[in-house]
Chain A
Amino acid sequence: MRFRIEVVRPERCIGCYSCVYACSRHLFNTVDPSRTAVFLRTEGSLANPFMPVTCRFCKTPECAEACPKDALQPLPEGGIMLITSRCEGCETFDCITACAIRALALDKKTKFPVICDKCGDCAKYCPHNVFKYEEMK
């Protein structure tokens, strides 16, 4: 079964970071606001609305195209998979800058890009149903 996660109601976001913390607990067994595949941003001041961001599961992902080592493999249902053996040794991280919405972060510890594994924890821990988590047909 293939799942996907989508930010559907960003205007409801209260800025609680529950999704971000849940993601870093899930992916890395830690709490780290930069080791996560879901991001919470505002444009300048916190008086501006929050913008939660996750992978958009693009059909023709820019990140994958930008990777000089073909380490990001586009998936048929959209989005990408990381082939770690190819990623190793990268110093440019073209994938991260290629994503227009910046849904990729560099994991400073492993030096791999952090990729969403579609576990749905962000949706589970969002108190305001900002996300939609569903099986892909």
Chain B
Amino acid sequence: MNSILYVDLTERSSKVIERPDLFSKYLGGPGVASKLIIEETKPGTDPFSPESPIIFAAGYLVGIFPCMVKTVAMFKSPLTKNLGESYSGGHLASALRFAGYDVLVVHGASENPVMIKIVDDDVKVERADSLWGLSPLDVEKTLREHYEGIQSVISCGRAGERLIYYGNVIVDRFHHFGRLGLGAIFGSKKLKAISINGTGEIPLEDPLAVKEMYKKLYDEVVNSENMLKYHNLGTSANVLELNERGALPSRNFKESRFRGAERISGEAMAESSLERKISCPGCPVACIHLAELKTGFAPEHEKGRKEIFSEKVLVPYNYEPMYALGSNLLINEPSHLLRLIYRCECLGLDAMMVGTVLAWVTEAFEEGIINLDDTLGIEPRWSDVGAYLQIIDNMVDLKNPFYTKLAQGLDVASEKYGGEEFAMIVGRNGLAGYATGYGTIAGQLVGARHSHLSNSGYSIDQMALNQPIGPEQIAKFLINQEDWLYVLYSLGTCYFARKIYTKEVVCEVLKIMGIDQTPEGLMQLGKEIFHNLYKFKIQEGFELTDQKIPGRVYSMQTPHKKLDAEKMQSIIKFYIHKRESEGLQLRPEEKALKELLSFEG
């Protein structure tokens, strides 16, 4: 172990380098990747240039303990222009480790479509012209062939091939490297797919201790209410929960309750469409909910009997696309929601960002800042699934200058057409579906990857309903969460298992692996990982003090009433102050601390 596999697409070559120095200190996942992304990227590299690397790093404990399943992908994001950081479950981390590697680094670019095929130590770059243009779903069908060991197939779709800034990479059919545009990086390298088949072992130093600990953790996982909920309805339970609290974004965050919520709720989906639940290797939970979408044969083929004869496909769903392509667009028909998700899957598009874009387009059309000439005759209207599907297609086809701007994100589109006020992005990434209060917005703004999962800001909003929580406490919470999550992610821990893997448990588990750590030491490590990533962001031009929050955030309804801009500012200022006192320089020299920290003292 401790091995990094380097594949060069230009040279079609590969090599393995052992880096015990990195792994002994940073374990794996984002810990190791945070060092590599800096080592491997020349400052200012164009995300689409051959020099722009992709780093896949499996968590340190993948395969060894339950719910250790994650791989991080790090790259330069075309969407945010700085850190691209995305996590996926599925078979990838296990396949990589069973093949004998902890990290895969991809460099270079090819002239013609290629794929990387790895079977243990056999590493090949092969032509993939015939796969180019295929949906990731078809690529998976085509490349999944191995009978032995664990195989992972990941690929971009047409969105990535055409460099849509939020094109994603689909992992093992139902998982994703979403959000920050990894698919477009694949596209720019003419890299269609990666197949990894691992048939080797992850050696255990102390098998008896591992077995004992495994048993304990396994029992906790399968008996824990905390994890069971992810199996039962999964995160889709949030639709009704948030709706009830008045925190479910609807009509592009203009409203925080949705009248159709019951129809597209997790409960309703389970009733009408849920077909299967599946898991990541090494996790007994099975939170991946798969719905059946009946697509219907061609009418001319079935002569009006489509209620009887239909084709069906499996579509993964969870809360985020249900908000983004459901409540936020006023979609209230489960099959419409599933069709939108499925189109994103087939094209390899980030469903959340697509929802953010479609909501903006609809409102921009209502406001008259875009017109039928821009949309090529399509009238975007709330809940109009047909129009939305056409808009998605036109965007991936880069049909005209308007669609081309949409494909580059809402900062680009709203800069040209206006409507920044309701372009629901922070740090150029679409907001997640939590109109819960300050924590969620501030958390996504300061998070290294601008995700709600960066620091779980929405959860402090929930706590703040029962007791007053001031700006300083919110800032502290965000810092502690994000630092700690970097430790868990470096181990490969699934976010959903974070309550099982407490600091004490992690110390115990690491001890079995021969690593002595204390809770404080781990927090320090998490902090260092965060600092490394932020240094990369800053090196690539990110400035926290320049980030904008769309005006709509201050007019939307939340369980904390309307949010106050001053309080938000004060959270950010406390945050900057605290991070700077840790030694992370967040502002350019010339910006005075005073000016930013008028609340200090």
Contact = CB atoms under 8 A, between A and B. Distances in A.
A33 B279 contact: no
Contact of A15 (B137, B210, B218, B281): B281
A18 B286 CA distance: 12
B153 to A, nearest CB: 9
A31 B201 contact: yes
A60 to B, nearest CB: 25
A41 interface: yes
A25 interface: yes
Given A14-B278, A14-B286, A46-B173, A32 B200 contact: yes
B176 to A, nearest CB: 14
B173 A47 contact: yes
Contact of B173 (A30, A45, A102): A45
Given A16-B284, A32-B98, A34-B149, A44 B144 contact: yes
Contact of A31 (B63, B145, B222): B63
B63 A14 contact: no
B199 A45 contact: no
Contacts of B94: 17, 33
A33 B149 contact: yes
B202 A30 contact: yes
B207 A29 contact: yes
A16 B198 contact: no
B130 to A, nearest CB: 17
B350 interface: no
Nearest to B147: A41
A18 B284 contact: yes
B63 A46 contact: no
Contacts of A46: 91, 140, 144, 172-174, 278
B64 interface: yes
Nearest to B281: A17
Interface residues of B, number: 45
Contacts of A50: 278
Interface residues of A, number: 28
B6 interface: no
Interface string B279-291: 1111111100000
Contacts, number: 99
Interface string B199-225: 111111001101100100010001000
Interface string B169-186: 000111000000000000
Q: Is the interface of B mostly helix, strand, loop or mixed?
A: loop
B35 interface: no
A93 to B, nearest CB: 13
A127 B198 contact: no
A21 B218 CA distance: 12
A119 to B, nearest CB: 12
Contact of A32 (B172, B201, B211, B313): B201
A4 interface: no
Interface in A1-41: 14-18, 21, 24-25, 29-35, 41
A18 B148 contact: no
A30 B204 contact: yes
Interface string B118-157: 0000000000000000000100110011011110000000
Nearest to A30: B201
B277 interface: yes
Contacts of A15: 278-279, 281, 286
B464 interface: no
B314 interface: yes
Given A32-B201, A33-B198, A33-B199, A17 B282 contact: yes
B173 A25 contact: no
B278 A17 contact: no
Nearest to A11: B276
Given A16-B283, A32-B200, A33-B198, A105 B141 contact: no
Contacts of A18: 66, 218, 282, 284
Contacts of A32: 98, 199-202
Closest 3 CB pairs of A and B: A32-B201, A29-B207, A14-B286
Interface of B: 63-64, 66, 91, 94, 98, 137, 140-141, 144-145, 147-150, 172-174, 198-204, 207-208, 210-211, 214, 218, 222, 276-286, 313-314
Given A25-B207, A35-B201, A42-B144, 12 more contacts: A16-B286, A30-B207, A31-B64, A33-B150, A44-B141, A45-B144, A46-B91, A46-B140, A47-B313, A125-B218, A127-B222, A127-B286
Interface of A: 14-18, 21, 24-25, 29-35, 41-42, 44-47, 49-50, 102, 105, 108, 125, 127
6 contacts: A25-B210, A29-B204, A29-B208, A30-B207, A31-B201, A45-B141
